[in-house]
Every structure is written in structure tokens, then in C-alpha cells.
Copies of this chain bind each other. A is one copy, B any other.
């Protein structure tokens, strides 16, 4: 207990430090160097608790301060104190979601929360099903699995050889987990047909219809369309109503990957971007660990049809899901999951929701979007910046190139592109070495490396956005 309290003291100091803008976001070292800076090896003999405290301090010293107001690197940032407390409680309770027997409260809270989420989507009376899964990629894989089973239930017993060649459709800007899922499920990546996106990253419905028809002509059976609400790079929202109409016309299951953008449904100001999501006949991925700043991991899959998950995944293991127990067995959720043991991811979301209320999440989301609009307005006409696509960002993603002074008036376009491609990686490396801020970059299609700013950190302010711009200019001016 004294030991636990000592660790807590270390953690509380770390948290205070993480929110302090004077602290580095990261004390960066190269992998080999970091391996040598400390003894990380595992030994036969035990260490003292004092040594363990030293190890805790060393681990935190070299960790990324993901709560830091200037950490913008990923879709999941920030640290909520209630969410953190809830995660500590979850660890302490140390149980497993598979049955009501071993997780009575958590199973009920999952039930309550999923129902609330379905109500917000607009499904009648919040009816349906769902599960919290280990991340959006697995949620998307579930969605594809359920769509296949819904269309061809015999696939469960007989495998893909009992099924015609299937085709799935998703935009060229969608998350790689759709292809990864198709590879794992034995569908194959070639059966995932990429639909063109417009200049701002939205799926073009006409191209979807054309590709569905093409696939049918080639003898494929279209079974699954995954639209994206908030793409990873551009933050684009696919036009869900038009896509759902096409899905209905061709009887293809319609899934919405809202891992990143799904949370906007909690904002009265921004939820129109998800219009049509209630038509997702089958399911929706929604990751509260991103835009709602719930600690990692927290990803929900919502399913419209009751019983479908159970039928698709159940294996009736009688040693775990005894049918003669003394309580209502509908609360034993384990047999509908792909996992056997399942980590308790619900409590942190539930407790944060209680602490903030729906309006608190709304305010937090609105503020992040306001910050990103501030950034967009600040740089769209600023010298040395070029936007990757025109128009106001739909989500908090702001995609832009920074052109150092020496490159701004270059005439040779190819040479300019080549040099520009190297700018973001160098600035990013310098950010990490100085430890002042972190933001992501990537190329996309024929577009050379550009910065992708995202804001999901509730601790960020207008001043932090200003700082980011100043820092990019400071670190990049000589390039």
C-alpha cells in the first residue's frame, strides 16, 4: 500500500508536468541509445521496491507526454482526470467482460451506454446490439464479418468455399483496417474495391454505383460498403445519405466507420455531417478514445439487428457460458465476441459521461473544431503555407504544406515538389529532438509530404495553435 501510494505520487507529479507547457512533450532518444541509457533487461533475481520505483520514473522520463497541450500527433490525445480515475478503478477491479457473473456492474454499464449511443444515432428506442472491442480496426473487422454472415450464414460452418466471390467497397481515403480485415477474413484485399474520393476526400457516390455494377458484371457479389465519417488524413465525411441509397438499391450492407468522426454526432452544431448514419443498416464503429478523449482503448461497434452478433460468433462453450446459471443469461455477452477474455473498456467512458454530461462532450468537441477553424483561418492566406485541399475543414484535420522562404519562388515545379517532400519529415524530426510539440505528416496519392494537424486534446488553446505555427517556421526557415 505504501508502495502503491509512492507510485501514485510519481504519477501525480508526472501529470502536473505533462500539462505544463514549459515541459518537453518528449525527451527523444534513438532506439539503440534508449536501450543503452537504462538497464531494461529481465533477470532471474528480484529487484527491491525502490528499484521498481526507479524503473517507473525512468519509464515516464522517456515516455511521450500525450496529455501535453502541444501534443497533436495522433487522433487520440489528452488526459481526462475522470477518465484516468476510472481506468485506475478498472485495473483495480481486474476483471473480464465475458459474463455477468464476473463483471456484473461493468456488463450493465456497457448495456446502458451502448443503448444510449444507439439512441443518439437515432435507432428506434435505442434498439440493437453492440460491443466494445479492442480498437477501431477490430470493430471494422467485426462489421465485415457480420455483413458476410448476414448475407451467407452458411459461411460460419462451411467457410468461404460455400460462398460466391464477394466484393467490398470503400473510399480510397478510408482506413487501412478495411483491407486488413478483408485479408484476415479470407476475403482477400483484391476484393476490396476502392472508390474514388473528390478533392476534399469524400467518396464519390457515382463512382460507387459504377464499381458495384462493374463488380456484379464480373461475377462478384457486392456485400459490404464501408463509408467513412471522418477520414484519417483529411477528416472528410463521406455523403452517407447518397451512399445508403445506393446500398439499398443494390442490397449491399452499409457500414459507417466513424472511428474518428462518429463523436461529432454529440454536437448539435456539427452532427449534420453524419446525416444518414441512422441508415447504416448494420453497424457503426465509433471510438470514444479519439474525439471524446477517453483513455485508450475505447472503441464501440454498434449493431442495428439484435441477435446477429450472437448468431454469427457464438460457439456455445459450456464451460464458460453455462446455461443453467441462476440469473438472466442475456447479460452474458462473451459468446457474441471474437475474444474470450475481454478487457473492461466501458467504465472510463461511462464515468466521464456522468461527469461531463452529454453537453460536456459536446462542448469539448465544439471547442476542438473551433480551434481547427482558427488554425485554418490563420494559415490559409499566410505566406509560406499552402492548403492541401480547399475549403473549411470538416473535422479537426487541417492539412497543409509549409514552404520555407528559400522554396517559395522556385520555378522548377518538379524540383520544388521533390524538396517540399523532405520539409515536413525534417521539421518533425527537429520537433521531436527539441521536444517542443508533435504533429503528424504523410504523403497522400500524388501529393508530397504535408502536415496533418488534428486536435482532440481538450487542453489545447488558441495560444498552442499560435505556438505550433511559430515552431514550424522556426524549425523550417533554413530548409
Contact = CB atoms under 8 A, between A and B. Distances in A.
Contact of A425 (B158, B191, B322, B443): B322
A340 B177 contact: yes
Per CB-CB distance, the 7 closest pairs between chain A and chain B, nearest first, are A186-B186, A159-B188, A160-B160, A134-B134, A160-B186, A87-B91, A326-B429
Given A42-B116, A62-B104, A94-B295, 11 more contacts: A3-B85, A7-B89, A34-B104, A44-B358, A46-B359, A47-B354, A49-B355, A148-B186, A297-B342, A318-B443, A320-B442
B136 A341 contact: yes
B340 A103 contact: no
Contact of A135 (B11, B319, B340, B351): B340
A158 B161 CA distance: 13
Interface in A313-358: 313, 315-320, 322, 324-328, 331, 338-344, 347, 350-351, 353-358
A35 B165 CA distance: 46
A34 B105 contact: yes
A7 B355 CA distance: 14
Interface in A100-153: 100-106, 108-109, 112-113, 116, 134-138, 141, 145, 148
A79 interface: yes
Interface string A428-445: 110010000000111110
18 contacts: A3-B85, A8-B8, A34-B108, A43-B358, A46-B354, A46-B357, A56-B351, A59-B89, A63-B106, A64-B95, A76-B341, A101-B432, A138-B339, A157-B189, A159-B165, A159-B182, A176-B316, A322-B449
A30 B351 CA distance: 22
A58 to B, nearest CB: 8
Contacts of A316: 176
A428 to B, nearest CB: 8
A42 B315 contact: no
Contacts of A116: 41-42
A180 B67 contact: no
A276 interface: no
Interface string A184-217: 1111111100000000000000000000000000
A156 interface: yes
Nearest to A51: B354
A96 interface: yes
A443 B299 CA distance: 35
A338 B137 contact: yes
Contacts of A191: 159
A265 interface: no
A351 B185 contact: no
Given A46-B360, A59-B347, A341-B137, A96 B74 contact: yes
